[in-house]
Structure 1
Amino acid sequence: MPETPVIYVLNGPNLNLLGVREPDIYGHETLADVQALCEKAAEGAKVVFLQSNHEGQLIDWVHEARTEGSVLVINPAGYGHTSVALLDALKTLSIPVIECHLSNPASREEFRHKTYVSLVATGVVAGFGPQSYELAVKAAVKLAAERAAAPARSSKD
Protein backbone atom coordinates (compact mmCIF):
# COMPACT_ATOMS: atom_id res chain seq x y z
CA MET A 1 0.00 0.00 0.00
CA PRO A 2 1.33 3.47 -0.87
CA GLU A 3 2.55 5.78 1.94
CA THR A 4 0.17 8.58 0.92
CA PRO A 5 -3.26 6.99 0.75
CA VAL A 6 -4.65 6.68 -2.75
CA ILE A 7 -8.44 6.78 -2.90
CA TYR A 8 -9.90 5.52 -6.16
CA VAL A 9 -13.33 7.01 -6.89
CA LEU A 10 -14.97 5.18 -9.78
CA ASN A 11 -18.15 6.38 -11.43
CA GLY A 12 -20.32 4.22 -13.66
CA PRO A 13 -22.53 4.86 -16.65
CA ASN A 14 -24.38 8.12 -17.22
CA LEU A 15 -22.69 9.92 -14.35
CA ASN A 16 -20.92 12.05 -16.96
CA LEU A 17 -24.36 13.65 -17.43
CA LEU A 18 -24.69 14.59 -13.77
CA GLY A 19 -26.36 17.97 -13.43
CA VAL A 20 -28.28 17.47 -16.68
CA ARG A 21 -29.80 13.98 -16.37
CA GLU A 22 -32.83 13.79 -14.05
CA PRO A 23 -31.80 16.68 -11.80
CA ASP A 24 -34.90 16.05 -9.66
CA ILE A 25 -33.25 12.75 -8.60
CA TYR A 26 -29.52 13.41 -8.95
CA GLY A 27 -29.30 17.17 -8.38
CA HIS A 28 -27.79 20.03 -10.35
CA GLU A 29 -24.12 19.52 -9.41
CA THR A 30 -21.87 18.26 -12.20
CA LEU A 31 -19.40 15.41 -11.99
CA ALA A 32 -16.64 18.04 -11.88
CA ASP A 33 -18.34 19.53 -8.80
CA VAL A 34 -18.41 16.08 -7.19
CA GLN A 35 -14.73 15.56 -8.01
CA ALA A 36 -13.81 18.87 -6.35
CA LEU A 37 -15.82 17.85 -3.27
CA CYS A 38 -13.98 14.50 -3.12
CA GLU A 39 -10.57 16.12 -3.46
CA LYS A 40 -11.38 18.54 -0.65
CA ALA A 41 -12.70 15.74 1.59
CA ALA A 42 -9.56 13.63 0.98
CA GLU A 43 -7.48 15.62 3.51
CA GLY A 44 -4.20 15.15 1.66
CA ALA A 45 -4.85 11.69 0.29
CA LYS A 46 -4.48 11.35 -3.46
CA VAL A 47 -7.80 10.98 -5.29
CA VAL A 48 -7.94 9.09 -8.57
CA PHE A 49 -11.36 10.16 -9.89
CA LEU A 50 -12.59 8.33 -12.99
CA GLN A 51 -15.84 7.83 -14.93
CA SER A 52 -16.79 5.48 -17.72
CA ASN A 53 -19.92 4.31 -19.46
CA HIS A 54 -18.13 1.05 -20.31
CA GLU A 55 -18.20 -1.93 -17.98
CA GLY A 56 -14.82 -3.27 -19.10
CA GLN A 57 -13.11 0.05 -18.42
CA LEU A 58 -14.50 0.13 -14.88
CA ILE A 59 -13.23 -3.42 -14.35
CA ASP A 60 -9.77 -2.42 -15.62
CA TRP A 61 -9.72 0.43 -13.09
CA VAL A 62 -10.77 -1.93 -10.29
CA HIS A 63 -7.81 -4.11 -11.26
CA GLU A 64 -5.56 -1.04 -11.17
CA ALA A 65 -6.87 -0.06 -7.73
CA ARG A 66 -5.99 -3.58 -6.56
CA THR A 67 -2.28 -2.72 -6.66
CA GLU A 68 -2.25 1.09 -6.65
CA GLY A 69 -5.06 2.03 -4.27
CA SER A 70 -5.63 2.17 -0.54
CA VAL A 71 -9.43 2.23 -0.70
CA LEU A 72 -11.96 2.09 -3.54
CA VAL A 73 -15.11 4.23 -3.57
CA ILE A 74 -17.47 3.21 -6.34
CA ASN A 75 -20.76 4.50 -7.65
CA PRO A 76 -21.54 1.64 -10.02
CA ALA A 77 -24.72 3.33 -11.25
CA GLY A 78 -26.79 0.86 -13.31
CA TYR A 79 -23.98 -1.70 -13.37
CA GLY A 80 -24.50 -2.25 -9.67
CA HIS A 81 -27.75 -4.04 -10.49
CA THR A 82 -26.53 -5.98 -13.51
CA SER A 83 -22.81 -6.67 -13.55
CA VAL A 84 -21.59 -9.95 -12.15
CA ALA A 85 -18.30 -9.20 -13.94
CA LEU A 86 -17.86 -6.03 -11.86
CA LEU A 87 -18.64 -8.03 -8.70
CA ASP A 88 -16.02 -10.61 -9.66
CA ALA A 89 -13.42 -7.86 -10.16
CA LEU A 90 -14.29 -6.30 -6.80
CA LYS A 91 -13.88 -9.69 -5.11
CA THR A 92 -10.19 -9.64 -6.08
CA LEU A 93 -9.52 -6.60 -3.90
CA SER A 94 -7.89 -6.77 -0.49
CA ILE A 95 -8.54 -3.05 0.08
CA PRO A 96 -11.83 -1.71 1.48
CA VAL A 97 -14.65 -0.96 -0.95
CA ILE A 98 -17.22 1.75 -0.26
CA GLU A 99 -20.35 1.77 -2.39
CA CYS A 100 -21.69 5.26 -3.00
CA HIS A 101 -24.97 6.51 -4.47
CA LEU A 102 -26.35 10.00 -4.91
CA SER A 103 -29.94 8.85 -4.45
CA ASN A 104 -31.29 6.24 -2.05
CA PRO A 105 -31.76 3.13 -4.21
CA ALA A 106 -33.90 1.48 -1.52
CA SER A 107 -36.52 4.21 -1.94
CA ARG A 108 -36.71 3.86 -5.73
CA GLU A 109 -37.86 1.18 -8.15
CA GLU A 110 -37.69 -2.36 -6.77
CA PHE A 111 -34.93 -3.45 -9.19
CA ARG A 112 -32.66 -0.81 -7.61
CA HIS A 113 -33.07 -2.10 -4.06
CA LYS A 114 -30.14 -4.53 -4.26
CA THR A 115 -26.74 -4.27 -5.89
CA TYR A 116 -24.02 -6.80 -6.51
CA VAL A 117 -21.48 -4.31 -5.16
CA SER A 118 -23.12 -4.41 -1.72
CA LEU A 119 -22.12 -8.07 -1.45
CA VAL A 120 -18.44 -7.06 -1.16
CA ALA A 121 -18.66 -3.49 0.14
CA THR A 122 -17.20 -2.57 3.50
CA GLY A 123 -19.96 0.04 3.71
CA VAL A 124 -22.59 1.88 1.67
CA VAL A 125 -23.33 5.62 1.62
CA ALA A 126 -26.51 6.61 -0.21
CA GLY A 127 -29.19 9.23 -0.44
CA PHE A 128 -27.28 12.41 0.38
CA GLY A 129 -26.66 13.68 -3.15
CA PRO A 130 -23.07 14.82 -3.71
CA GLN A 131 -22.54 14.73 0.06
CA SER A 132 -22.67 10.90 -0.27
CA TYR A 133 -19.32 11.14 -2.03
CA GLU A 134 -17.91 13.47 0.63
CA LEU A 135 -18.95 11.05 3.37
CA ALA A 136 -17.59 8.07 1.43
CA VAL A 137 -14.21 9.73 0.86
CA LYS A 138 -13.94 10.76 4.51
CA ALA A 139 -14.67 7.14 5.48
CA ALA A 140 -12.08 5.99 2.92
CA VAL A 141 -9.42 8.25 4.45
CA LYS A 142 -10.22 6.88 7.91
CA LEU A 143 -10.09 3.27 6.68
CA ALA A 144 -6.76 3.89 4.93
CA ALA A 145 -5.28 5.41 8.09
CA GLU A 146 -6.50 2.50 10.22
CA ARG A 147 -5.00 -0.02 7.80
CA ALA A 148 -1.69 1.88 7.70
CA ALA A 149 -1.54 1.97 11.51
CA ALA A 150 -2.39 -1.71 11.96
CA PRO A 151 0.61 -3.82 12.90
CA ALA A 152 1.84 -6.07 10.14
CA ARG A 153 0.86 -9.67 10.75
CA SER A 154 3.64 -12.17 10.77
CA SER A 155 3.39 -15.45 8.91
CA LYS A 156 3.05 -17.12 12.35
CA ASP A 157 -0.27 -15.35 13.07
Structure 2
Amino acid sequence: MLKIGIINGPNLNMLGKRDQKIYGNLTLEEMNHKIESFAKKEDIELTIKQSNLEGEIIESIQQFSSQVDGLIINPAAYTHYSYAIADALRDCPIPIIEVHLSNIFSREDFRGKSVTAPACIGQIAGFGYQSYILAICALQDLLKKKAKKN
Protein backbone atom coordinates (compact mmCIF):
# COMPACT_ATOMS: atom_id res chain seq x y z
CA MET A 1 0.00 0.00 0.00
CA LEU A 2 1.31 3.42 -0.97
CA LYS A 3 1.82 5.83 1.94
CA ILE A 4 1.55 9.59 1.44
CA GLY A 5 1.93 12.35 4.00
CA ILE A 6 0.28 15.76 3.78
CA ILE A 7 1.43 18.83 5.70
CA ASN A 8 -0.75 21.93 5.85
CA GLY A 9 0.84 25.16 7.03
CA PRO A 10 -0.28 28.26 8.90
CA ASN A 11 -3.87 29.49 8.92
CA LEU A 12 -5.21 26.50 6.99
CA ASN A 13 -6.97 25.50 10.20
CA MET A 14 -9.13 28.59 9.54
CA LEU A 15 -10.49 27.34 6.21
CA GLY A 16 -14.22 27.95 5.94
CA LYS A 17 -13.79 31.21 7.87
CA ARG A 18 -11.09 32.82 5.71
CA ASP A 19 -11.78 34.71 2.47
CA GLN A 20 -13.99 32.19 0.68
CA LYS A 21 -13.44 33.83 -2.72
CA ILE A 22 -9.80 32.81 -2.42
CA TYR A 23 -9.87 29.66 -0.29
CA GLY A 24 -13.35 28.22 -0.88
CA ASN A 25 -16.00 27.40 1.68
CA LEU A 26 -14.75 24.02 2.93
CA THR A 27 -13.36 23.74 6.43
CA LEU A 28 -10.03 21.95 6.87
CA GLU A 29 -11.90 18.95 8.27
CA GLU A 30 -14.24 18.85 5.25
CA MET A 31 -11.34 19.21 2.84
CA ASN A 32 -9.39 16.46 4.59
CA HIS A 33 -12.42 14.17 4.40
CA LYS A 34 -12.68 14.64 0.61
CA ILE A 35 -8.96 13.98 0.19
CA GLU A 36 -9.06 10.93 2.48
CA SER A 37 -12.08 9.52 0.61
CA PHE A 38 -10.20 9.77 -2.68
CA ALA A 39 -7.07 8.18 -1.19
CA LYS A 40 -9.09 5.30 0.27
CA LYS A 41 -10.57 4.51 -3.17
CA GLU A 42 -7.04 4.43 -4.56
CA ASP A 43 -5.82 2.17 -1.72
CA ILE A 44 -3.45 4.86 -0.43
CA GLU A 45 -2.67 5.29 3.25
CA LEU A 46 -2.79 8.99 4.05
CA THR A 47 -1.49 10.85 7.10
CA ILE A 48 -2.46 14.52 7.33
CA LYS A 49 -0.93 17.09 9.67
CA GLN A 50 -1.47 20.84 10.11
CA SER A 51 0.59 23.34 12.04
CA ASN A 52 0.87 27.09 12.36
CA LEU A 53 4.44 26.73 13.63
CA GLU A 54 7.48 26.62 11.36
CA GLY A 55 9.45 24.30 13.66
CA GLU A 56 6.60 21.79 13.85
CA ILE A 57 6.32 21.76 10.06
CA ILE A 58 10.06 21.04 9.80
CA GLU A 59 9.74 18.22 12.36
CA SER A 60 6.84 16.75 10.36
CA ILE A 61 8.91 16.83 7.16
CA GLN A 62 11.76 15.07 8.95
CA GLN A 63 9.44 12.44 10.45
CA PHE A 64 7.61 11.79 7.19
CA SER A 65 10.92 11.34 5.34
CA SER A 66 11.24 7.83 6.82
CA GLN A 67 7.54 6.98 7.22
CA VAL A 68 5.93 7.62 3.83
CA ASP A 69 6.64 7.10 0.14
CA GLY A 70 5.77 10.65 -0.93
CA LEU A 71 4.89 13.99 0.60
CA ILE A 72 2.47 16.80 -0.25
CA ILE A 73 3.01 20.15 1.42
CA ASN A 74 1.04 23.37 1.49
CA PRO A 75 3.48 25.69 3.24
CA ALA A 76 0.92 28.53 3.03
CA ALA A 77 2.57 31.88 3.81
CA TYR A 78 5.86 30.12 4.62
CA THR A 79 6.07 29.43 0.87
CA HIS A 80 7.41 32.90 0.29
CA TYR A 81 10.11 33.18 2.92
CA SER A 82 10.88 30.03 4.92
CA TYR A 83 14.35 28.96 3.93
CA ALA A 84 14.30 26.63 6.95
CA ILE A 85 11.35 24.69 5.48
CA ALA A 86 13.00 24.76 2.05
CA ASP A 87 16.17 23.26 3.55
CA ALA A 88 14.18 20.53 5.31
CA LEU A 89 12.43 19.70 2.03
CA ARG A 90 15.79 19.50 0.22
CA ASP A 91 17.06 17.06 2.85
CA CYS A 92 14.01 14.82 2.45
CA PRO A 93 14.81 11.77 0.26
CA ILE A 94 11.24 11.17 -0.95
CA PRO A 95 9.33 12.94 -3.75
CA ILE A 96 7.52 16.08 -2.60
CA ILE A 97 4.85 18.17 -4.32
CA GLU A 98 3.95 21.68 -3.17
CA VAL A 99 0.26 22.54 -3.39
CA HIS A 100 -1.85 25.66 -2.93
CA LEU A 101 -5.61 26.09 -2.86
CA SER A 102 -5.41 29.40 -4.71
CA ASN A 103 -3.36 30.40 -7.74
CA ILE A 104 -0.54 32.15 -5.91
CA PHE A 105 0.60 33.79 -9.16
CA SER A 106 -2.71 35.63 -9.61
CA ARG A 107 -2.55 37.29 -6.19
CA GLU A 108 -0.29 39.89 -4.58
CA ASP A 109 3.17 40.16 -6.13
CA PHE A 110 4.97 38.76 -3.08
CA ARG A 111 2.94 35.54 -3.36
CA GLY A 112 4.35 34.84 -6.82
CA LYS A 113 7.69 33.76 -5.38
CA SER A 114 8.09 30.38 -3.74
CA VAL A 115 11.31 29.60 -1.92
CA THR A 116 10.01 26.09 -1.16
CA ALA A 117 8.93 24.94 -4.65
CA PRO A 118 12.51 24.52 -5.96
CA ALA A 119 12.99 21.84 -3.27
CA CYS A 120 9.99 19.90 -4.64
CA ILE A 121 9.46 17.88 -7.81
CA GLY A 122 6.57 20.15 -8.76
CA GLN A 123 3.87 22.56 -7.69
CA ILE A 124 0.09 22.43 -8.17
CA ALA A 125 -1.90 25.57 -7.41
CA GLY A 126 -5.29 27.11 -7.99
CA PHE A 127 -7.62 24.10 -7.94
CA GLY A 128 -8.91 24.33 -4.38
CA TYR A 129 -8.91 21.00 -2.54
CA GLN A 130 -8.45 19.29 -5.90
CA SER A 131 -4.85 20.54 -5.91
CA TYR A 132 -4.27 17.82 -3.29
CA ILE A 133 -6.08 15.18 -5.37
CA LEU A 134 -3.97 16.07 -8.40
CA ALA A 135 -0.82 15.85 -6.27
CA ILE A 136 -1.85 12.41 -5.00
CA CYS A 137 -2.38 11.24 -8.59
CA ALA A 138 1.01 12.62 -9.64
CA LEU A 139 2.81 10.94 -6.73
CA GLN A 140 0.95 7.70 -7.33
CA ASP A 141 2.02 7.66 -10.98
CA LEU A 142 5.60 8.67 -10.21
CA LEU A 143 6.01 6.06 -7.48
CA LYS A 144 4.49 3.29 -9.61
CA LYS A 145 6.94 4.09 -12.41
CA LYS A 146 9.81 4.14 -9.93
CA ALA A 147 8.76 0.74 -8.53
CA LYS A 148 8.67 -0.76 -12.04
CA LYS A 149 12.24 0.40 -12.68
CA ASN A 150 13.45 -1.31 -9.49
Same fold (TM over 0.5): yes
Larger radius of gyration between Structure 1 and Structure 2: 1
Q: Which residue of 1 aligns with 2:106?
A: 107
Higher mean alpha-carbon deviation, 128-137 vs 9-18, is at 128-137
RMSD: 1.1
Letter in 2 for 1:54: L
Q: Which residue of 2 aligns with 1:98?
A: 97
Q: Which residue of 2 aligns with 1:51?
A: 50
Higher mean alpha-carbon deviation, 9-18 vs 23-32, is at 23-32
Distance 1:77 1:147 in 2: 29
Per-residue Cα deviation, 1:17-47 (whole angstroms, up to 9, x for no partner): 0111111110101111221222122211110
Letter in 2 for 1:131: Q
Structure number having the greater helix percentage: 2
The aligned length equals 148
SS in 1 for 2:22: helix
Pick the aligned partner of 2:36 from 14, 39, 58.
39
Displacement of 1:131 in angstroms is 1.2
Q: Which residue of 2 aligns with 1:154?
A: none
1:60 aligns with 2:79: no
Q: Contact 1:41 / 1:138 at 8 angstroms: preserved in 2?
A: no
TM normalised by structure 2 equals 0.94
SS in 2 for 1:128: coil
Letter in 2 for 1:129: G
Distance 1:6 1:143 in 2: 13
Q: Which residue of 1 aligns with 2:75?
A: 76
Distance 1:130 1:51 in 2: 15
Letter in 2 for 1:59: I
Displacement of 1:87 in angstroms is 0.5
Give the percent of matched residue pairs that are identical in Structure 1 and Structure 2: 43
SS in 2 for 1:67: coil
